[in-house]
Amino acid sequence: GPADVEGFAARLAPLGLGCIDAPMSGGPARARDGSMSLMVACAAALWTAHEALLRQLASRLFRISARPGDGARTKLVNNLLGAVNLAAAAEAMVLAQRLGLDAVATLAVIEQSSGQSWVGVDRMARALAGDFAPRAHTTLLAKDSALALQ
């Protein structure tokens, strides 16, 4: 988490080394194909020296700040929102079914409307198709949510 990154940065500083805090978002498939996002927090000189390398790792770079730990903080905020979106999408689909709506048609509307979220649409479409294979570890979701709320 952010405290760990701050600790690494503090240990590196006396050695004259900087810390690039660059957590990724997108999961293993996007990491493999280079389409993940990186949330980068580092000193301007480190950004300048290593931006080209970071761009080879990810299709989207977000320069967050110069403060180590802010990349990790941004990822925690993003992951918490993803968890909330997923829970809300599941509840919305249950409501749609209780109202007698066609779940697939309702999801198609949500996908193109104000209720859209990538994680909600992706996971709900898989569930409606009968695919309940895990895509992420709930232990990570619980850990990240707890860290974000500290």
- Give catalytic residues, as residue numbers: 75
Q: How many Å apart are CA 31 and CA 122, to the nearest integer?
A: 18
Q: Which residues contact 72 (CB under 8 A, 6 or more apart)?
A: 1, 2, 4, 5, 21, 23, 41
Please spell the DSSP secondary structure of 72-130, one letter per residue: HHHHHHHHHHHHHHHHHHHHHHHHHHHTT--HHHHHHHHHTSTT--HHHHHHHHHHHTT
Which of the 8 DSSP states describes residue 14? G
Q: How many Å apart are CA 24 and CA 10, to the nearest integer?
A: 22
